[in-house]
Structure 1
Amino acid sequence: MANVIITGTSRGIGLELAQLFADDGHEVLALSRNDSPISKLNHKHISSFPFDITQSEDLKKMNDFVTENWESVDILINNAGKLLNKHFLDTSAQEFEQVYKVNVFGVAAVTKAILPKMTKNGHVLTISSMGGVQGSMKFPGLSAYSSSKAAVITLTELWAEEFKETGPSFNVLALGAVQTEMLEEAFPGYTARNSAFEMAEYIMEFALTGQRFYNGKLLPVSNSTP
């Protein structure tokens, strides 16, 4: 059984992931600013506390938990994300920066904190978006979001190269549209073909086994064309 850290677990894919891993017997540290949905599960294999990916004191709490409770971390899933749908000229510098604080700087900070505690055969899996893939279809209003998701794709490739001799492995999944609360907030009325539960099932399987076949790789996970 694996020790798994998942960020962004208050709803959507992250909440489903935490439940799936825990139901399978893995030990899960589920991190999100609002930990009420996770706490209400009262699952014996899930630990949680309020966690803001952009706050250094919360990163210390995460580190302390791992040191006190686990010998090592097997899987880190960087799932937390902030989606802003707003015309570029109407997007303030503060709004643009906040998206990057969560989607890029937060991902880097969590990964940096956990890496010394990960096993050689561990797996750092970052959730990106098809909007961040070069040459993919782009949508107006997503300048901050999609460019930030492109940044973590490149970060993943760089980390895999930097740690290729010592491990762990690093991969990134670029998701297409998934029916989540975040999607509904950004695109009211849009209906995606995949549910959060379906996507979480795929992500869990890849998180557990993908490092055997991939390192430093971007895998698009989308059934739409283009």
Structure 2
Amino acid sequence: MLSKNIIITGTSRGIGYELALQFSAVGHNVLAISRKTPQTLIENPNITCLSIDLSVEEDLKKVEQFLEHTWKKVDVIIHNAGSLLHKPFDQISAEEFESIYKVNVFGVVNLTRTCIPFLQKGSHVVTISSMGGIQGSMKFAGLAAYSSSKGAVITLSELLAEEYKERGIAFNVLALGAVNTEMLQEAFPGYEAPLSAKEMADYIFNFALTGNKYYNGKVLQVSSTTP
């Protein structure tokens, strides 16, 4: 198997952390991007860790420099990092709303823009969204900033798929249902989701490597509940 160069955001914990370990375990090269870096990832020979705040565009120069001097090309990007705010709409400040969008939307925009010169035919960009961002899905009070931001990246991915299809770069979205991550527990204490972070990482792992053979510009709903 040829090793691939894979960028994963939000690798300090949860799904992103599990994905970094899975890809590195089978010999792929991983660029793990997060604000905090677990020692277990730092010590892994197949993982390069960059401490980056995706809400700060200037930080992404570290990624550009790494790609220019080390990898030269990117096979897979998994936009997994996310910021979740559970708060009544009329209590969310403009700064809080903007903060959610800086990570969940502009983080995706800016990292993708940084990586475009290094993507090639066969590259796959996977954005992790949420069922809350799907039009017509069940919505939950208190998630106005989070769910609307997840809807924004769905449309963005569809547009990029069209714009870069001639270059053979695929853009797809996985809209996840509830997953038992630390982020979910912080927002909804005591709620038990049906899937663990590792179980969801298993699915994303395979989709990131092969999904672009079957899909481009698509949104796949990955949820064990209806609607």
In 2, Cα distance between equivalents of 1:114 and 1:203: 20
The question of whether the paired residues in 2 share the 8 Å contact of 1:38 and 1:48 is answered with no
Q: Which residue of 1 aligns with 2:21?
A: 19
Name the counterpart of 2:119. Answer: 118
Tell me by how many angstroms 1:38 deviates: 4.8
What does 1:190-209 correspond to in 2, within 5 Å? 190-209=191-210
So what's the TM-score if we normalise by structure 2?
0.97
Runs of 4+ displaced beyond 6 Å: none
Kindly state the Cα deviation for residue 49 of structure 1 after the two structures are TM-superposed: 2.1
| Aligned residues of 1:13 and 1:196 also touching (Cα < 8 A) | yes
In structure 2, runs of 5+ residues without a counterpart are none
Coordinate RMSD, CA, aligned = 0.9
Deviation digits for residues 25-83 of structure 1 (CA, Å, limit 9, x no counterpart): 1000000000134545x111000021111223320001111111113100000011000
SS of the residue 2:173 aligns to? strand
Q: Which residue of 2 aligns with 1:6?
A: 8
Question: How far, CA to CA, are the matches of 1:200 and 1:136 in structure 2?
Answer: 23
Residue aligning to 2:78: 77
C-alpha separation between the residues in 2 aligned to 1:178 and 1:66? 32
Q: Does structure 1 conserve the Cα–Cα contact (< 8 Å) formed by 2:6 and 2:77?
A: yes
**Quick one: distance in 1 between partners of 2:127 and 2:30?**
16
Match of 1:152 in 2: 153
Deviation, 1:7, is 0.5
Q: 1:21 to 1:39 in 2, by over 3 A?
A: closer
Output the CA distance in 2 between the equivalents of 1:27 and 1:144. Answer: 34
Distance 1:47 1:78 in 2: 16
- Structure 1 CA distance, aligned partners of 2:155 and 2:226? 23
Q: Deviation per CA, 1:145-169, whole angstroms, max 9, x where unpaired?
A: 0000000000000000111111310
Q: Classify 1:225/1:215 alpha carbon distance in 2 versus 1 (closer, same or farther; 3 Å).
A: same
Distance across 2 between alignment mates of 1:166 and 1:128: 24
1:32 aligns with 2:34: yes
Say how many residue pairs are matched: 225
User: Structure 1 183/61 Cα, relative in aligned 2: closer, same or farther at 3 Å?
Assistant: same
User: Are the counterparts in 1 of residues 21 and 41 from structure 2 also a CA contact under 8 Å?
Assistant: no
The answer as to 2:40 corresponding to 1:44 is no
Q: Share of identical aligned residues, percent? A: 60
Runs of 5+ consecutive residues of structure 1 not aligned to the other structure: none
State how far apart, in whole Å, the 2-side matches of 1:39 and 1:3 are.
Answer: 16
The 5 Å alignment of 1:134-173 reads 134-173=135-174
Matched to 2:58, the amino acid is E
